[in-house]
Structure 1
């Protein structure tokens, strides 16, 4: 059976974990019938995932946070970009939040416009479609 015998550097390991959350969202959206595109480089455009239903395109940013609770405050890291949706995952738990991109500098995760989900495809898609 294959076993990893090398150490992964902490920064590399964090990047791998963050990418795994993006891959989870990609998988869920593809299973829902969306066309999914991954930018080769998202610097400057703040877009991790681009989705389309054919005529329309939407930009998605995926973020992970160490949230101690739903009232955790997040910072707007995409101001001035064309991001449509931000998906937050609590790294230290099994839940996340789908939020429309906002102009405020900060917002709590439990803001009324945000939709909480457990890390499950059906729950994610149900909340995603509520935006």
Structure 2
């Protein structure tokens, strides 16, 4: 069996983990019938994913947070970029939160407009459809 015999730098490993959450969302949305587009570079527009049902397009930002609970306050890092949906994943647990893009500087994860889910396709899609 293959074994990784080299050490990965901590910054690289963190980037790999963050990207894996984006890949998970891509997979879940594609299985639900969405067209999913991944920008080659997202620094200017801060868009991790662009999804479409045909006539409509939505911009998605995927973030990971070290949250000890859903009262954790998150910072708006996409100001001015017209993000439609932000998906937060708790790095240190098995849950996440789907939020409509917001304009405030910060907001608690348990805000009334946010949808909490357990990290599974079924749970994610159930909450995503209720946005």
Q: Normalising TM by the smaller chain, what interval?
A: over 0.9
| Structure 1 residues 1-131: aligned runs within 5 Å | 1-131=1-131
Residue 82 of structure 1: CA displacement?
1.3
Alpha-carbon distance in 1 for matches of 2:101, 2:37: 19
Alpha-carbon distance in 2 for matches of 1:43, 1:75: 17
Alpha-carbon distance in 1 for matches of 2:80, 2:100: 14
What TM-score, normalized by structure 2, do the two folds share? 0.99
Secondary structure of 1:26's aligned partner? helix
Could you list the per-position Cα deviations for residues 67-114 of structure 1 after superposition, in whole angstroms to 9, with x for gaps in the alignment?
010100000001101110000000000000000000111000000000
Q: CA RMSD in A?
A: 0.3
Q: Which 5+ residue runs of structure 2 have no aligned equivalent? A: none
Q: Runs of 4 or more off by more than 6 Å in structure 1?
A: none
Alpha-carbon distance in 2 for matches of 1:46, 1:126: 25
Alpha-carbon distance in 2 for matches of 1:69, 1:13: 24
What TM-score, normalized by structure 1, do the two folds share? 0.99
Alpha-carbon distance in 1 for matches of 2:46, 2:127: 22
Could you list the per-position Cα deviations for residues 5-43 of structure 1 after superposition, in whole angstroms to 9, with x for gaps in the alignment?
000000000000000000000000000000000000001
Alpha-carbon distance in 2 for matches of 1:111, 1:82: 20
Q: Which 5+ residue runs of structure 1 have no aligned equivalent? A: none
Alpha-carbon distance in 2 for matches of 1:76, 1:110: 15
Secondary structure of 1:70's aligned partner? coil
